[in-house]
Amino acid sequence: MTVIILTNCPAGLRGFLTRWLMEISPGVFIGGPSARIRQALWDEVQKYADTGRALLAYNTNNEQGFTFETHDHKWHPIDHDGVTLIRRPKDQPAISAATPPTGWSKASKRRRYGKR
């Protein structure tokens, strides 16, 4: 089983993938091509994705039963003692409840934070 998920990619790339895989939702392709075809499809996705992002997941013979690859994602797969995990970048510090974000009206600040 092979799953390819595209985000913000050209429509021509989606059309290309429909030759080999079924599009079950916009940008989500699923199918069962051979390993050679899967690699050829992934090479084409990486070549034509432009500024879009792509994710490939497929069955394999390991402890998890699957593996995945990413293209231009902020999250990256890493190997940790034979198990593939996702490394996410550090998030920006959250805005505390004491200081509402700029751009809100004074009335909405009063309602949200109970200031009179």
The ranges assigned to domains in the chain are 2-87
* Closest by Cα among 41, 45, 34 to 10: 45
Instruction: Read off the pLDDT of residues 24-68 as tens digits, 9 standing for 90 and up.
Output: 999 999 999 999 999 999 999 999 998 899 999 999 998 899 998
Q: In this predicted structure, what is the pLDDT of residue 93?
A: 60
CATH of domain 2-87: 3.30.70.240
Q: What is the mean pLDDT of the chain?
A: 86
Angle among Cα 24, 27, 29 to the nearest 5 degrees reads: 50
**16-22: Cβ within 8 A, 24+ apart:** 16/44, 16/48, 17/41, 17/45
For the beta carbon of residue 42, count every other beta carbon within 10 angstroms: 17
Looking at per-residue confidence, does 76 or 7 come out higher?
Answer: 7
Looking at per-residue confidence, does 88 or 40 come out higher?
Answer: 40
Cα–Cα distance between 74 and 29 in angstroms, integer? 21
Report whether pLDDT(16) > 90. Answer: yes
